[in-house]
């Protein structure tokens, strides 16, 4: 650690408005490594710790602290005399790695206290928001190791997160094996933390933003304005007490690539616009948006379901909205996309948050219709259209809008809380979940925390031996009950846990 501190240079990194778009959320993942060969020196703690600080030297932003500038603007301050050092914990467990395997890595089998953070970005014991949390747990009889890593969306998205974990693994493996070429490879990896890259990469062209996007980000929302006015620590404290994950259930499924590919072919043949480019994940997003809408339809007569963010206040607003404007007839579908592609900077190794939501209002008449190839083609036309429209001109227009209104980042959260059928889908299948090798092989399983936030869907890659897609679905318990009994979904996906 002392060697790391000696390399730190004082600097301030003003965060881009993109960084704050999901600033209230964490990026938490668990990496499960098996010691099947029974090696005595399997992923030794000393080597892990030493390599951790070496990797941290390449990511000094993770040792900075957040300074609120007001009106939604935030700066990361890296001060050698006042470092906000990451939380790095080590512990042992009486649970064997085989017990985790038998349970298919279900969270009920995990060691107690494995996850040291929740979904919401909050201050740690010292009163500051840590920009990196790590918990290394050694399983019974050295049968395996679990590494929990968390970073807030303030400083990274999945690209930056998994780049750090992969680099940490490279340094550890290199140091253990005296592999100087691997050290050089890691040292020469270019990393960009300069947020001005986004502004400098914007094209001159602009494309009009959708009505739905403008309504969410520019509409009247006193609650959102109040939340944006608060400091990051105060906002986190309030949101953590707002029961973000109250009555929320998560399940993980595996979608066969063969079945999804065949379904994609059938849907493509039935698409109304044959020129529209579609991908497997577009079809999968359509399947899930229809399935969730149908589950809400079945629940609607049973009880009024809200997603629990600022729950007591927003229920009042939802009730008033229902009385004034009637029952919702659309689903707010938010597909998260990476601006690196639209701006042509995928080769720049940009480590800041590059995710933006592309949202639209999907008619419930389409989504609630019984799922078959024809109705699924209609829904896929919507999801493919959203992704297809997300070019550099649209990204530039979105960034113009949030840059002119830096405090607007809390508005989507409040909007989602008032619209219980809203859905957020993120495609992480291209992220490097299974690339971290600390010298004893790749992780056997990688997953996020048990319950994230309601109405959040994540597409993840399978372990290296499979091309299937892992789907994590987090919904309110009454809605999830209908998901588990959905016949179309049961034929496409198998439940992992």
Q: What is the pLDDT of residues 236-253, one digit of tens each?
A: 999 888 755 568 899 999
Q: What is the pLDDT of residue 286?
A: 95
Q: Which of 16, 153, 296, 419 is catalytic?
A: 153
The pLDDT tens digits of the residues spanning 40-80 come to 999 999 999 999 999 999 999 999 999 988 777 899 999 99
pLDDT number for residue 62: 97
Over residues 277-311, the pLDDT tens digits come to 899 999 999 999 999 999 999 987 666 544 444 44
Q: Please, which pLDDT band fits residue 324 given cuts at 50, 70 and 90?
A: very low
The pLDDT value recorded for residue 327 is 55
pLDDT of res. 246: 67
The predicted model scores a pTM of 0.91
Please determine, for residue 455, whether its predicted confidence score (pLDDT) is greater than 70: yes
* 213-225 average pLDDT score: 89
Highest-pLDDT range among 29-43, 366-380, 404-418: 29-43
Active site residue 391: no
Decide if pLDDT at 26 tops 80.
Answer: yes
The predicted structure's pLDDT at residue 465: 82
325 has a pLDDT exceeding 60: no
**209-495: CATH superfamily:** Chloramphenicol acetyltransferase-like domain (3.30.559.10)
Give 198-212 pLDDT, tens digit per residue.
999 999 999 999 888
437 in active site? yes
The single residue of 187, 391, 400, 437 carrying the catalytic annotation is 437
- 3-state SS of the chain is CHHHHHHCCCEEEECCCCCCCCCCEEEEEEEEEECCCCCCCCCCHHHHHHHHHHHHHHCHHHHCEEEEEECCEEEEEECCCCCCCCEEEEEECCCCHHHHHHCCCCHHHCCCCCCCCCCECCCCCCCCCCCCEEEEEECHHHCEEEEEEEEECCCCCHHHHHHHHHHHHHHHHHHHHCCHHHHHHHHCCCCECCCHHHHHCCCCCCCCCCHHHHHHHHCCCHHHHHHHHCCHHHHHHHHHHCCCCCCEEEEEEEECHHHHHHHHHHHHHHCCCCCCCCCHHHHHHHHHHHHHHHHHHHHHCCCCCCCCCCHHHHHHHHHHHHHHHCCCCEEEEEEEEEHHHHHCCCCCCECCCCEEEEEEEEEHHHHCCCCCHHHHHHHHHHHHHHHHCCCHHHHHHHHHHHHHCHHHHHHHHHHHHHCCCCEEEEECCCCCCCCCCCCCCCCCEEECCCCCCCCEEEEEECCCCCCCEEEEEEEEHHHHHHHHCCHHHHHHEEECC
Return residue ranges of the chain for CATH 3.30.559.10.
2-198, 209-495
Residue 243 is predicted with a pLDDT of 58
> Residue 320: its pLDDT value, please?
47
More confident call, 359 vs 131: 131
The CATH architecture that domain 2-198 belongs to is: 2-Layer Sandwich (3.30)
The predicted-structure confidence for 128-187, as pLDDT tens digits, reads as follows 999 999 999 999 999 999 999 999 999 999 999 999 999 999 999 999 999 999 999 888
pLDDT at 328: 67
pLDDT at 245: 57
pLDDT at 114: 97
């Amino acid at each position: 650690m002392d060697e790391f501190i000696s390399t730190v240079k004082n600097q301030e990194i003003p965060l881009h408005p993109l960084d704050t778009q999901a600033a209230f959320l964490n990026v938490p993942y668990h990496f499960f490594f098996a010691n099947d060969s029974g090696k005595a020196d399997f992923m030794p703690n000393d080597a892990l710790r030493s390599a951790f600080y070496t990797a941290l030297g390449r990511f000094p932003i993770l040792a900075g602290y957040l300074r609120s500038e007001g009106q939604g603007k935030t700066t990361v301050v890296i001060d050698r005399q006042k470092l906000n050092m990451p939380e790095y914990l080590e512990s042992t467990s009486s649970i064997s790695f085989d017990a985790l395997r038998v349970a298919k890595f279900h969270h009920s089998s995990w060691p107690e206290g494995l996850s040291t953070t929740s979904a919401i970005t909050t201050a740690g014991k010292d009163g500051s928001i840590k920009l990196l949390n790590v918990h290394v747990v050694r399983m019974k009889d050295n049968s395996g190791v679990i590494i929990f890593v968390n970073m807030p969306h303030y400083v990274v998205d999945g690209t930056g997160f998994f780049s750090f974990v992969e680099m940490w693994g490279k340094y550890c493996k290199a140091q253990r094996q005296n592999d100087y070429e691997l050290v050089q490879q890691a040292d020469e990896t270019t990393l960009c933390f300069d947020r001005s890259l986004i502004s400098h990469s914007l094209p001159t062209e602009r494309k009009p933003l959708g009505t739905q996007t403008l309504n969410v980000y520019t509409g009247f929302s006193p609650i959102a304005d109040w939340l944006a006015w608060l400091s990051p620590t105060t906002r986190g404290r309030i949101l953590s007490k707002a029961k973000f994950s109250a009555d929320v259930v998560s399940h993980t499924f595996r979608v066969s690539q063969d079945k999804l590919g065949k379904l994609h072919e059938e849907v493509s043949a039935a698409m109304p616009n044959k020129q529209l480019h579609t991908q497997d994940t577009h079809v999968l997003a359509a399947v899930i948006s229809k399935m969730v809408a149908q589950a809400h339809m079945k629940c609607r007569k049973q009880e009024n379901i809200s997603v629990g963010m600022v729950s007591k206040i927003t229920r009042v607003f939802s009730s008033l909205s229902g009385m004034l404007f009637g029952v919702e007839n659309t689903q707010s579908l938010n597909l998260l996309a990476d601006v690196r592609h639209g701006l042509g900077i995928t080769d720049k190794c940009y480590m800041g948050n590059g995710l933006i939501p592309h949202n639209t209002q999907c008619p419930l008449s389409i989504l609630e219709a019984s799922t078959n190839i024809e109705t699924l083609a209609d829904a896929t036309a919507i999801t493919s259209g959203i992704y297809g429209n997300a070019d550099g001109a649209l990204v530039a227009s979105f960034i113009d809008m949030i840059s002119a209104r830096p405090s607007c980042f809390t508005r989507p959260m409040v909007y989602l809380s008032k619209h219980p059928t809203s859905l957020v889908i993120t495609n992480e299948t291209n992220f490097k979940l299974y690339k971290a090798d600390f010298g004893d092989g790749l992780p056997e399983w990688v997953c996020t925390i048990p319950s994230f936030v309601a109405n959040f869907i994540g597409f993840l890659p399978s372990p290296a031996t499979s091309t299937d897609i892992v789907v994590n679905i987090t919904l309110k318990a009454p809605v999830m009950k209908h998901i588990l009994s959905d016949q179309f979904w049961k034929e496409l996906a198998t439940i992992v846990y």
